[in-house]
Amino acid sequence: MTSILRIETSIKGEASVSRKLTDRIVARLTDATPGARVTVRDLSAGVPQIDGAWIGAVYTPAEARTADQDRIAAYSDALLDEVKAADVLVIALPVYNFGLPAQLKSWIDHLARKGETFRYTEKGPEGLLTGKRAIVALSSDGTKMGSEIDFASGYLRHMLGFFGIADVEFIAADRMVFDPEATLKAAEAEVDRLAA
> Which residues fall in the annotated binding site for FMN?
10, 16-18
Q: How many CB atoms lie within 10 A of CB 42?
A: 13
Gap between the Cα atoms of 152 and 194, Å rounded: 22
| Cα dihedral 164, 170, 174, 179 in deg (nearest 10) | -170
Please state the residue numbers annotated as binding site. Answer: 10, 16-18
DSSP 124-165: EEEES-TT-EEEEEEE-SSPPTTSTT--SHHHHHHHHHHTT-
- How close are the terminal C-alpha atoms of the chain, in Å? 14
User: 89: which residues sit within 8 A by CB, 6+ positions away?
Assistant: 4, 5, 7, 83, 132, 133, 134, 135, 160, 165
For residue 33, the surrounding DSSP H or E stretch is: none
